[in-house]
Structure 1
Amino acid sequence: MALAKLGVVVLDCPDPLALAEFYAAVIGGTPAPADETWVDLKGYEGTPLAFQKAPGLVPPKWPAPDGSQQFHLDLTVEDMDAAEKEVLALGATVLDAADRDRSWRVYADPAGHPFCLCAC
């Protein structure tokens, strides 16, 4: 029997509304600010996602030199090249997309959190 249920995935970031707007453009939904420190992403299918103000956030390294990576989001897409073009236009940066034959590519969102586009 489970001790708990996953309620929401929260991404710490310097600007919660800006990052919520990025993810709304990528996965859908509408940013719903509770206040200047917290924004929920509402109205899309999937795991609940929220954004919390963390002014001193230091983005994780990808890959971590010592293997101690934090976590990342896997986002399933139908057209990898088209999705890549869109996320880059929205402000993502490429972290690892050199192998174009793989079924996944790694990017960082505007706050530096890694995420993968996956054609799996």
Structure 2
Amino acid sequence: MSQSIRFLPAVAPAEHAADAAHRDRDLRRLLAVWRSLAVRFITAQAHGGADEVELCDALTGVEEALRHRHRKVWRQVQPVLQLLLLEAEHAGDQSTAPSDCLNCRRAVDGLPSITQLLMGEAPR
């Protein structure tokens, strides 16, 4: 007795839309985490902090996740993100609180929003 081969139904458009929405949320979440960690890492470098190594490791982990899960977007935004880190680095005085440091405050305000990164807008 022979059985007919059944083909799997094509993925419905609603499933594609849900998958795309999930990937977009994941990308935006990872970029937001990267942005937050980058500012904290720069502050720890400039003003000292016991968590500098942990922040660097966390930042690297987020970059790895971006590279593996969002390869195409990561190739586009990585140079911008690395440039932002370099421009935000500064030699700080450990006796100055990061909240009083003009460079640290500029780093927080100067990093582009996630939407700006994804739209390809250049940082100010």
Band of TM-score, shorter chain? under 0.3
* TM-score (normalised: structure 1): 0.27
The structure whose residues are more often strand, as a share, is 1
The structure whose residues are more often helix, as a share, is 2
* TM-score (normalised: structure 2): 0.26
| Structure ranking higher on relative contact order (CA contacts 8 Å, 6+ apart) | 2
